[in-house]
Amino acid sequence: MTTDIAGRTVIITGAGGGIGEALALGFLADGARVVGADVDLSGLERLAARGVVTRRCDVTVEAEVRALIAAAQAETGRVDVLFNNAGLGHRHRIDEIPDGLFERMAQVSLFGPFYAIRAALPVMRAQGYGRVVNMISRGAEARAPGWAGYASAKAGLFALTRVAAAETQGADILVNAMIPGPTRSGMNQGPGLQEPAAVYPHARWMASLPSGGPNGEVFWNSKPYALFAGGATREA
């Protein structure tokens, strides 16, 4: 069972394209008050034209993330759902990773969600409600050349999800992780990929979990997924 998403305030990072844009438009169509954040101004312009509240935000800069959460609360009065969706997807062997890229991937995919969760939790605690969804990947458990930066960042995000969930026990705040599956986006091209809009029904399900719902879990296609359980050779 899920609760109604209509009227909820939903913040989405990385909303300027791909999955993030599809989620923003999906939640908007279902009556949520959507705040979309990105560094891609053209993507934000598209969303604004559709009625999404937009804000330029570099998730690697904590002050900008705090300002995003504060602006969403000021604009709508609440922060109900936080989707940590922003990410990078480069592949390089460890000894060939360009200087700074490993750090950049961690900053976007791990530090960014940490900043957002740290800023949003006090608001969610005060209002007595919150849903946090961290976008991760089976790439976290991949044992494959070129995945050092991506896998490390996503594995760290998995750990952050579980710790944050433990720290919200007893409050109506659920922190879970979502695997979107192979999806066409700016960082993922090729045959056999689903379109970003296919991710939305599962995102909506996770964003509207009822009180007492799962906490600290990973889901793929709205079903539990046991990350690191026999997945030593998996790729995203």
The verdict on whether 150 is a catalytic residue reads: yes
Q: Which residue has the tokens 């961290």?
A: 134
Query: What are φ and ψ of residue 73, in 5° steps?
Result: -65, -40
Q: Which residue has the tokens 């034209």?
A: 49
- Residue of 115, 150, 200, 225 marked active site: 150
What dihedral do alpha carbons 61, 67, 68, 69 form, nearest 10°? 120
How many CB atoms within 10 Å of residue 162? 18
Could you tell me if 14 and 68 are in contact, meaning their C-beta atoms sit under 8 angstroms apart? no
Catalytic residues: 150
